[in-house]
C-alpha cells in the first residue's frame, strides 16, 4: 500500500517501525494550543483545539480539505486570528499585534504552499532581508549566512536570480532557506508541496527530512504519507475543525482508530 506514495526510497512498512515518539526524548513544550476556537462566519473551523508540540518534535497534520488544518498552521503565527483560547510559543502567549507580535513571528518560520518569495528581490536578497531588517545583522554576515543556507538547500548557484526564473521546487527551497535564516525555534509548513509539479516534490521533501533529522521542531500540514512515515513523530488527523485522532505515523497509517480517518485514508490510498 505504501509503495503507492510518491516519496523517495521508502523502506517497507515493517522496517520503519522505529516509532520515533517512543525511543526519543522530547524536549519541553514549545508550541501550546489551549481551547482554540475560530469561526469563519457560520463555519466553526477550529473547534476547541488542544495541542502541544515539544522541542524537536516533527508533527504532521493531515486531513481532508476544509478540515481546518491550514487555519491551525496559520494561527500559530497569527496570520489567522483566533476567537478564543490561547496559543503560546516557547512559553510566551501570542501577542495581539505590534512589535511583540512581529518579534514572535521572527522566531516562527513559515513556509507557504505558494512559496511567496518576494517577487521584486533576488534569491539572495529574499534570504538576507529578514536577518538584516529584523535582526539588524550586517550585510556581509547576512550574505554569508544566506549563502550557507542556500547551499544547504541546494540552490546556492541561483543566488543572483529573481524568483520567477526558478522552478517551483527551487523557489520552495529558497523559501525554506529564507525561513531558516531567522533561526526560528519552530518551522511551520503549510502544504509545502501541494503547488509543485510531481517531479519537484522530492527535492523539497528531502530538504525537510534533513531538517527533521537535525532536530528542528516542525509542524507540517501535508498529504505526503512518505514524509510522515519517514520523518514525523506524530500524526494529527483533523476533520471538520476537530482533532479526531493522533498517533505515531506507523500506527495511524496501518491501524487508524476512527472511522473518519479510515475513510480518509482509504480515499487517498486506493489509487
Question: Which residue ranges make up the site for other proteins (CB under 8 A)?
Answer: 77, 79, 97-99, 101-103, 105-110, 112, 114-120, 129-130, 133-134, 162, 164-165, 175, 178-179, 182
What is the β-pairing status of strands 186-190 and 84-89? unpaired
- The rounded radius of gyration (Å) of the Cα atoms in the chain is 18
Give min distance, CB of 94 to other proteins, in A: 13
Q: How far is the CB of 134 from other proteins (least distance, A)?
A: 4
Q: Which is nearer to other proteins, 7 or 126 (CB)?
A: 126
Who contacts 156 (Cβ-Cβ below 8 Å, separation ≥6)?
147, 150
Name which of 45 and 265 has its Cβ closer to other proteins.
45
Cβ-based nearer residue to other proteins, 114 or 258: 114
Least distance (Å) between residue 106 CB and other proteins: 3
Residue closer to other proteins, measured from CB, 18 or 97:
97
CB closer to other proteins, 117 vs 200: 117
Sign of the alpha-carbon dihedral angle for 52, 212, 24, 26: negative
Nearest distance from C-beta of residue 173 to other proteins, angstroms: 15
Q: How far apart are CA 35 and CA 242, in angstroms?
A: 11
Question: Judged by CB, which is closer to other proteins: 123, or 225?
Answer: 123
Closest CA to 172 of 151, 187, 155: 155
Element (H, E) at 151: helix 139-152
Q: Cβ of residue 102: shortest distance to other proteins, in angstroms? A: 4
For residue 168, the minimal CB distance to other proteins (Å) is 13
| Residue pair 182/174 in contact by the 8 Å Cβ criterion | no
Cβ 240 vs Cβ 233: under 8 Å = no
How many beta carbons lie within 10 A of that of residue 12, not counting itself? 8
Amino acid at each position: 500500500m505504501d509503495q503507492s506514495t510518491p516519496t523517495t526510497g521508502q523502506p517497507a512498512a515493517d522496517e520503519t517501525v522505529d516509532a520515533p515518539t517512543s525511543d526519543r526524548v522530547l524536549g519541553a513544550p514549545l508550541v501550546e494550543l489551549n481551547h482554540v476556537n475560530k469561526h469563519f462566519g457560520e463555519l466553526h473551523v477550529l473547534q476547541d483545539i488542544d495541542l502541544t508540540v515539544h522541542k524537536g518534535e516533527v508533527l504532521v497534520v493531515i486531513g481532508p480539505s476544509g478540515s481546518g488544518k491550514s487555519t491551525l498552521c496559520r494561527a500559530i503565527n497569527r496570520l489567522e486570528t483566533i476567537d478564543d483560547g490561547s496559543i503560546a510559543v516557547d512559553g510566551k502567549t501570542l501577542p495581539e499585534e505590534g512589535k511583540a507580535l512581529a518579534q514572535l513571528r521572527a522566531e516562527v518560520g513559515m513556509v507557504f504552499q505558494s512559496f511567496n518569495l518576494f517577487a521584486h528581490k533576488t534569491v539572495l536578497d529574499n534570504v538576507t532581508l529578514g536577518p538584516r531588517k529584523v535582526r539588524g545583522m550586517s550585510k556581509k554576515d547576512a550574505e554569508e549566512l544566506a549563502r550557507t543556507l542556500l547551499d544547504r538547500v541546494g540552490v546556492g548557484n541561483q543566488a543572483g536570480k529573481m524568483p520567477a526564473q526558478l522552478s517551483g521546487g527551487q523557489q520552495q527551497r529558497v523559501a525554506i532557506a529564507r525561513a531558516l535564516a531567522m533561526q526560528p525555534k519552530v518551522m511551520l509548513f503549510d502544504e509545502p508541496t501541494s503547488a509543485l509539479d510531481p517531479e519537484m516534490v522530492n527535492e523539497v521533501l528531502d530538504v525537510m527530512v534533513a531538517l527533521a533529522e537535525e532536530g528542528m521542531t516542525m509542524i507540517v500540514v501535508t498529504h505526503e504519507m512518505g514524509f510522515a512515515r519517514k520523518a514525523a513523530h506524530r500524526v494529527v488527523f483533523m476533520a471538520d475543525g476537530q482533532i479526531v485522532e493522533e498517533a505515531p505515523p506507523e500506527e495511524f497509517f496501518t491501524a487508524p482508530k476512527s472511522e473518519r480517518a479510515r475513510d480518509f485514508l482509504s480515499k487517498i490510498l486506493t489509487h
